[in-house]
Structure 1
């Protein structure tokens, strides 16, 4: 599954080789799902606003139901489902592996694994807090509960985080385990 950025962005109804990994995966026999879950653009303001205050909530179910539909139709092997995505997809790729163990691999690009540190180290920290409807200075808000790093004990999926050393949104600290709170690793043994 190729997860777009945004979250208020969308894959268009056309043949697209925008990302270099799509032709690579297709040439190796993989089906690539480019979903537009709630929050995506192109279906009106009401649909796009469904993700505001709920990133990693109901949109998680949208991604999982898309995979379920492809498995039911025998389009994909349920034991070989992988995730890749950048920006918002870089959050959803590590988030989904904390919510479901079905994934064989995940490649988050420019990942956000810890919304708390993202709030204070990114040049767009306030943006994430608004989309999460969370306050990093209040315990129990989505800034913490929707941080993949805080659900790391659930992860069994091998992950390859890809981050730019000079990226400011999110900064590369989202990828390096040395910046995570003591005792946490976003993908045990894999990140």
Structure 2
């Protein structure tokens, strides 16, 4: 098994000294219908400054500085999230939550509570197979955006934690935005 590659587009780069190459790729066997595109900038000057970015069926030129800026935004969001989750206050909340979960009378009761608060979405049968205690469940499933629901379950409020969550969510929204492009699409595919 291999991959069939077909030249889809070849055009001049931004500076005109090189070119953009976009290839249509698909597996060379009949039982798969997946396809993808491979794209490169064949110009040393432009490749140092730009990257091609596929968005749906369009390819745009994006400055590498912009991609680095977006990566820093994502890293900042992840760092803030990690810092929040490792504070003593959050650790104590999670310990109380683990104790609360483990004190419930049955796995069905735990599943109902977690499902009601949208902390769990699998069936009760799947939940029973996966359940290995509150500590394991919290370690595997809880992230910063679950803290509001967990505090609600425990009947506690920490406005400073809620403020941190809101800040992380704002950072996350900004980081999730696609990088700014330069001009019109370089190429639009046929599919």
Q: Same fold (TM over 0.5)?
A: no
TM-score, normalised to structure 2, is 0.24
TM-score, normalised to structure 1, is 0.24
Q: Which one scores higher on RCO, CA 8 angstroms, separation ≥ 6? A: 2
Structure holding more strand per residue:
2
Structure holding more helix per residue:
2
